[in-house]
Chains A and B, each alone.
Chain A
Amino acid sequence: QVQLQESGPGLVKPSETLSLTCTVSGGSISSYYWNWIRQPPGKGLEWIGYIYYSGSTKYNPSLKSRVTLSVDTSKNQFSLKLTSVTAADTAIYYCARGDSSGYNAYWGQGTLVTVSS
């Protein structure tokens, strides 16, 4: 059974860059689409983007100017960078595995990132 685990700083200062990594275990990172989704505390879910194992990406237009996704197949990891963060970026960030249809069946447990000085 594939498992995903997010990691990274839980506190980021305004205007700085949020960086998170998702480590995939129990399966190869190859042949799947690797997604980031976030959820502000007490609110709904927002899809951030995906990176295919080959490196191709697709981003939510609402965040596209600030988001960069990358993948390291040798480590079975993929990463998220979100620049120029504000308090509105405070959220639980989830990584998820998607198939070619776009369905995300497997999710990590999530990590809370707070943007505050």
Chain B
Amino acid sequence: DIQMTQSPSSLSASVGDRVTITCRASQGINHYLAWFQQRPGKAPKSLIYAASSLQSGVPSKFSGSGSGTDFTLTISSLQPEDFATYYCQQYNAYPLTFGGGTKVEIK
């Protein structure tokens, strides 16, 4: 299985901050990487697919980059509704696997 490692596992940030989350794959996954946001008590919501493509309806403050084994999700200006847990997921090979999550909390 391809292991996905996210860092940090949690972070504290203020409204308006720029936040970057990193995801590393245990082997190359080309650009087959998605990012999801999960608010408490809610289902994961897709943000980014193919490493850098914005899912329809997702605000442009979210951006993704990377290829191969190293990827990043950036939130350009954190807003109250962005405090949530973020997961990366590879879909280059089955079984599909997820990172452990990054919890973004209010400072």
Q: Which A positions have Cβ atoms within 8 angstroms of B?
A: 35, 44-47, 58, 60-62, 94, 101-110
A-B contact pairs, 10 of them (CB 8 A): A44-B87, A44-B99, A45-B87, A45-B98, A46-B98, A60-B95, A94-B43, A102-B32, A102-B94, A108-B43
Which of B32, B46, B95, B100 meets A61, CB within 8 Å? Answer: B95
B interface, how many residues as a size bin? Answer: 20 to 34
Which of A44, A58, A104, A105 meets B100, CB within 8 Å? Answer: A44
CA A55 – CA B88 in complex, angstroms?
28
From known contacts A45-B98, A47-B96, A62-B95, infer whether A94 and B34 are also in contact, taking CB-CB under 8 Å.
no
Q: Mark B70-107, 1 if CB is under 8 A from A, else 0.
A: 00000000000000000101011011111111000000
Query: A28: shortest Cβ distance to chain B, in Å?
Result: 19
Q: B1-55: which have CB < 8 Å to A?
A: 32, 34, 42-46, 49-50, 55
Q: Which residues of chain B have C-beta atoms less than 8 A from A109's C-beta?
A: 42-43
Q: Which residues of chain B have C-beta atoms less than 8 A from A47's C-beta?
A: 95-98
- Output the nearest chain A residue to B95 by Cβ-Cβ distance: A60
CA A62 – CA B92 in complex, angstroms?
18
Provide the main secondary structure of the chain A interface.
loop
Query: B100: shortest Cβ distance to chain A, in Å?
Result: 5
CA A46 – CA B96 in complex, angstroms?
8
CA A102 – CA B30 in complex, angstroms?
13
- Output the nearest chain A residue to B85 by Cβ-Cβ distance: A44
**CB-based contact B43/A45 at 8 Å:** no
From known contacts A44-B101, A109-B43, A110-B43, infer whether A101 and B32 are also in contact, taking CB-CB under 8 Å.
yes
Q: Which residues of chain B have C-beta atoms less than 8 A from A106's C-beta?
A: 46
Q: Which residues of chain A have C-beta atoms less than 8 A from B32's C-beta?
A: 101-103
CA A109 – CA B99 in complex, angstroms?
20
Q: Which residues of chain A have C-beta atoms less than 8 A from B99's C-beta?
A: 44
**CB-based contact A103/B95 at 8 Å:** no
**CB-based contact B94/A58 at 8 Å:** yes
Q: Which residues of chain A have C-beta atoms less than 8 A from B97's C-beta?
A: 47
